[in-house]
Chain A
Amino acid sequence: MSHQEKDSFGAKLGMWLFLFTEMLLFGGVFILYSVYLNRYPKEFGLGGHQLDLVFGATNTVVLLTSSLFAAMSVTAIKRGAKRLTLGLLSVTIGCALVFLCIKYLEWSAKFHHGIYPNSPKLIAGPPGESIFFSLYYLTTGLHGIHVVIGGILMTWTAVMVQKGILNSTDNVTLENVTLYWHLVDLVWIFIFPLYYLIL
C-alpha cells in the first residue's frame, strides 16, 4: 500500500462504518418504539392521529428532493462542473432549512396545544399517550439535530468546492457528506410512516 496518495475507497469504507453506527443509534429508539407499541397499541394509535399529516408529508417530499439534489451534486463535481455543483448544493442546504422551519412550525403547534414532554396535559392523560409523544419528540428531535449537522457539513463542503479543494479528481469528502445526508433522509423515511401514517 502506498501511503502518499489518498485512499478514497478507504475513506468511503470508514464512512459506511460510521453510518452503521448512526443506524444503530436510531435503532435504539426504534427498539423502544416497538416495545411500547406492543404494550400500548391503542394509545399509540390515538397519538398518531394527533400528528399533522400535511406537515409530515411536506417534509418527506422536501427531504427526498434534497437527497436527489445532493446525489446530483456528486455527479456534477465528477464532471468538473463547479458552478453547477455549488448550485445543487445550495438547493440541498435550502431544503434542509425548509425542513427545519416546517419542523419548528409543527412542534410549536403541538406545544400550543399543551403537548410537550412532561406537560400537565400528558401527565394527566393515559401513560401510553405520554410515552408516544415522548418517543415522538425524542426521535424527531434527534433526527432534527442530524439535519442541522448535515446542513453544516453541506455548507462546509460547498466552501471547499468553491475554493477548489474539492474538484473533479479529489471529491471523496463531498461523496461522504452526501452519504451522510442520504442516511438522514433514510431515517426520516422510517420515522414518517411509523409516527404519522400506519397508526
Chain B
Amino acid sequence: MSQDTAIGQGGFWRDTGRTGIGSWIFSTDHKRIGLMYLYCVLGFFLVGVSLGLLIRLELIAPGPTIVTAQTYNALFTVHGVVMIFLFIIPGIPASFGNLVLPIQLGARDVAFPRVNLLSWWLYAIGAVIVLVSLFTGGGAPDTGWTFYVPFSARTTTNVSLAVFGVFVLGFSSILTGINFITTIHRMRAPGMTWTRIPLFAWSLYATAWVQVLATPIIAITLLLVITERILGLGLFDPTRGGDPVMYQHMFWIYSHPAVYIMILPGMGVISDIIPVFSRKPIFGYKMIAFSSLAIAAAGSAVWGHHMYTSGMSDLGILVFSFLTFIVAIPSAIKVFNWVSTMYKGSISLEAPMLFALSFILLFSIGGLSGLILGAAATDIHVHDTHFVVGHFHYVMFGGTGFAFFAAAHYWLPKYYGRRYKEKPAIVGWILMFVGFNVMYFTMQVLGMEGMPRRYYDYLPEFARLNLVATVGSWILVAGIIIVVWNLWRGLFRGEPFTGNPWGGATLEWSIATPPPTENFDEDPVVTHGPYEFKGAGVP
C-alpha cells in the first residue's frame, strides 16, 4: 500500500482536472462532496452553537438580560432551523455517508455522481436562502422551527422565504436518499452480500428510506404554508373552515421520522467504532442491521405523540403511545448489543471510542426520558416544558452530535493522511461531556418543576437552576472549541496517519491513505464480514 501523506499531494487531493475552487464545487467525486458537506454542516453547527449560547445567556437570570423578547423568539427559531435542517439532518448521512459509504461497499463512487453534486448544490442554495431570510423582509422568522400555523401564516417576519429554503433543503435530502438506496442495491463489490455490509452502511440504508418516504410530506406542508401566506388559501385557518391541527399532523408525519434520519446514521457510526476499539466482532450483527430497519419503520407511525394535548381522541393517544413505546425495543436492542460487544473485549480508550461510549450513555438517558414523554399521563405534565428540550438535546446532541465527533475522529485522518493530537481530544471530550450533562440534565429537572419551553422570562424560583444550566453551556462550548480546533490543526499539520492504525476490517481501511480518486486500483472481492478481525489480514 502506498502511503502519500502530505495534503494536496496524495490520493484524491491531487486534482486530475480543474484547479482551485472549481475542482471542488463542480467535482462529482463522492469524497470531495462529502468534505464540502462536512465543512458546511460544521460551519452551521458552530453558528447554531453560538445562537444556543445566546439563548442560554438570556436565560441566565429572570427578566430581560441581553436581548429583547422579539430577538429571543428569532434566536430560538433560527437556532432550531439551523441545527435541524442545516446541521443534524445532513450532518452524518450527507458528509460521512458520502465520504465512507461507496468505499465500504467497494464501489468507485455513488450510483449517480452528478445527482450527488446536485444534492450538494441544492443544500448550498437552500442554506443561502435560509440565511437571506434572516436579514431581509420583516426580519428573522420567530415562529419556532416547527412553523406552526396560525402564527406562521400571520406573522410579518420573513417566514415564506425561510420555509422555501427548507423546501429546497428537503429536495437535497430526498436526492441523497435515492442515491444511497440505489448505490447500496447496485454498486456492492462482488462478495459483498447483504450480511457483509458494514453496519454504518446498513444504517444509511434505513435512513435513506426514511428520507425518501417522509420528506415529500414536509415539502407539500411547507408549500401549503407559503400559499397560505401569499394566496390566503385558508386551508389551516379556522375562520375560513380550515383546521390548524391538520398542519400539525402533516408537519409531524415528516418531522418525527426525520428524528430517525438524524439518529440512525449516528447509531451506524457507533456500531462501526465499538467493535474496532473493543477488538471484537460486533455482537448480534443481524439484529443491529434489522433494528435499524425496524426503527425506520416503527418510527414512521408515531407522529401523533407530539399532539397529545391538541385535543386528539383518547383512542388516538392510546395507539400513538403504544407505537411510540414499540420504537424503544429496536433502540434497546442496539444498546444491549453494543454493551455485549464490549464484554470481555480488549478496549482501547482512544478519542473515537470515548465519544462512542458517551453516545451510549447520553442516548440511553435521552431514550428513557422519551418514554416519559411517550406515555400520555406523564406527557401531560411535562408537555412543552424544558424537559422536552432536555430530552431532545440528549438524543440529538448527546446522540447524533457526539456520534458526529466520533466519526470525525475515526474517519477524517483517513481522508487527510494526518491526525489530531490525542490529549487535547480527550480534554475536549471531558469538557463536552461534563458541560453537556450539567446543562441538559438541569434543563430536564427544570422541566419537571414546570418551566415552559420557549419562554422569554420565568419565575424567580427557576433562577438558580437556570444559572447552573448556563454555566454548563460555557463548559460545553469550551469543550467544542478545543475539539474542533484540535481536529482542524491536526488534520492540516498533525502527525502522519498511515495504514490501518485502528485495525478496522471494513473496506475503507484496506486502501491507501488518503484514498485515491477512484478509491480502488482494482475492484475488490469481499471474502469476509466487516467485523472479522482475525484471519482477514488485519494488523
Contacts and interface: CB of A to CB of B under 8 A. Distances in A.
B116 to A, nearest CB: 11
Nearest to A18: B178
Interface in B193-252: 212-213, 215-217, 219-221, 223-224, 227, 231-235, 239-243, 246, 250
A35 interface: yes
A17 B181 contact: yes
A137 B230 CA distance: 14
A65 interface: no
Interface in A111-132: 117-118, 123, 126-128, 130-131
Contacts of A11: 112
A135 interface: yes
Interface in A125-167: 126-128, 130-131, 134-135, 137-138, 142
Given A40-B241, A117-B232, A138-B233, A9 B186 contact: yes
B111 A7 contact: yes
Contacts of B174: 18, 21
A1 B188 contact: yes
B453 to A, nearest CB: 28
B207 to A, nearest CB: 14
B233 A31 contact: no
B107 A135 contact: no
Contact of A1 (B107, B212, B216): B107
Interface in A1-50: 1-3, 7, 9-11, 13-14, 17-18, 20-29, 31-32, 35-36, 39-40
A26 B221 CA distance: 11
Nearest to A117: B231
A144 B539 CA distance: 60
Among A35, A39, A131, chain B packs the most CB atoms within 10 A around the CB of: A131
Interface residues of B, number: 42
B182 A17 contact: yes
Consensus secondary structure, chain B interface: helix
B178 A2 contact: no
B216 A130 contact: no
A24 B107 CA distance: 31
Given A24-B217, A40-B241, A118-B232, A13 B182 contact: yes
B28 to A, nearest CB: 13
Contacts of B523: 1-3
B109 interface: yes
Contacts of B227: 117, 138
B365 interface: no
Nearest to B170: A21
A27 B109 CA distance: 33
A127 B241 contact: yes
Contacts of B223: 142
A134 B220 contact: no
A111 B438 CA distance: 60
A24 B188 contact: no
A61 B174 CA distance: 33
Given A1-B107, A25-B216, A131 B241 contact: yes
Contact of B221 (A2, A18, A28): A28
B386 interface: no
B517 to A, nearest CB: 12
Given A3-B109, A10-B111, A28-B220, A17 B212 contact: yes
Nearest to A22: B216
Contacts of A24: 213, 216-217
Given A3-B109, A31-B250, A118 B234 contact: yes
Contact of A134 (B178, B185, B234): B234
B113 to A, nearest CB: 10
B246 A13 contact: no
B414 interface: no
Interface in B75-113: 107-109, 111-112
Contact of B219 (A17, A25, A130): A25
A2 B186 CA distance: 10
B107 A118 contact: no
A2 to B, nearest CB: 7
B111 A131 contact: no
A44 B189 CA distance: 55
B246 A118 contact: no
Contact of B178 (A7, A17, A137): A17
Among A10, A32, A39, chain B packs the most CB atoms within 10 A around the CB of: A32
B371 interface: no
Contacts of B178: 14, 17-18, 21
29 contacts: A1-B107, A1-B189, A1-B190, A1-B523, A3-B109, A10-B186, A13-B186, A14-B179, A14-B181, A17-B177, A17-B212, A18-B178, A20-B213, A21-B213, A21-B216, A22-B216, A25-B219, A28-B217, A28-B220, A36-B241, A39-B241, A117-B231, A117-B233, A127-B239, A127-B241, A130-B241, A131-B235, A137-B231, A138-B224
Q: Which 9 A-B pairs have the closest CB atoms?
A: A127-B241, A28-B220, A118-B232, A24-B216, A134-B233, A10-B186, A25-B216, A117-B231, A21-B216
Interface of B: 107-109, 111-112, 115, 174, 177-179, 181-182, 185-190, 212-213, 215-217, 219-221, 223-224, 227, 231-235, 239-243, 246, 250, 523
